[in-house]
Amino acid sequence: MSTPLLQGELVRLVVDTPEILAESHARWALDSEYWRLMDWSRAYTFSKRMMQTWFETVNEKNTGFFFSIYTLAENRLIGDIGLDGVNWSCGDSYVGIAIGERDLWGKGYGTDAMRVLLRFAFQELNLRRVTLNVFGYNPRAIQSYLKVGFQPEGCQRQFLLRDGQRYDVFYMGILRSEWAERYLNNTD
């Protein structure tokens, strides 16, 4: 238990205030590629106030565990990650992650943040599985999820329309037993 619960090799996860979250998310939402990687709804921008209201509403519902991702080296807010829709009776939750700072895409921060969140999900919350979906046009994310141990579980073919082209949405999951074998036995 020498490793801080919400810290990895590159990042730490922090619960931020709606004001801090609104500032960064309003800026990140101006990047349509960021938005298209994060959500299957149409790309659009939000004002800082709209984002703050949304985060305040999410906090009131208390349906999940949401964290900001900060770099360890510079204490820089770079994205967010969270568990949502936790089903306690089944021990299952969905995970979502987004790195908003484009200059840090593909540098391992998202992979490290996912490892930290999975440790939290399986060791602290005692979940049995974590599930996600990822768009077929995001091979960098697919590779990251495979790297931390997620397994492909299904596909909705041609589900998403982007720029006149149809893309698949893939579903992936990881079980606590798979995670434990990989990380508690130090095989990764």
Q: CATH code for 11-132? A: 3.40.630.30
Higher pLDDT, 34 or 78: 78
Q: What distance, in Å, lies between the first and last C-alpha atoms of the chain?
A: 18
C-alpha span between 58 and 54 (Å, rounded) = 6
pLDDT band at 139 (very low <50, low <70, confident <90, very high): very high
The answer to whether residues 153 and 94 touch, using CB atoms and an 8 Å cutoff, is no
Q: Which two tokens stand for residue 173?
A: 């999951």
- What pLDDT score does 43 carry? 62
Is the confidence at residue 135, as pLDDT, over 90?
yes
The answer to whether residues 144 and 98 touch, using CB atoms and an 8 Å cutoff, is no
Residue 18: which residues within 8 A CB-CB, separation 6 or more?
52, 55, 56, 59
- What pLDDT score does 18 carry? 79
pLDDT band at 101 (very low <50, low <70, confident <90, very high): very high
Return mean pLDDT, the chain: 88
C-alpha span between 62 and 85 (Å, rounded) = 10
Listed by start position, the domains of the chain span: 11-132
- Of all residues in the chain, the percent with pLDDT exceeding 90 is 63
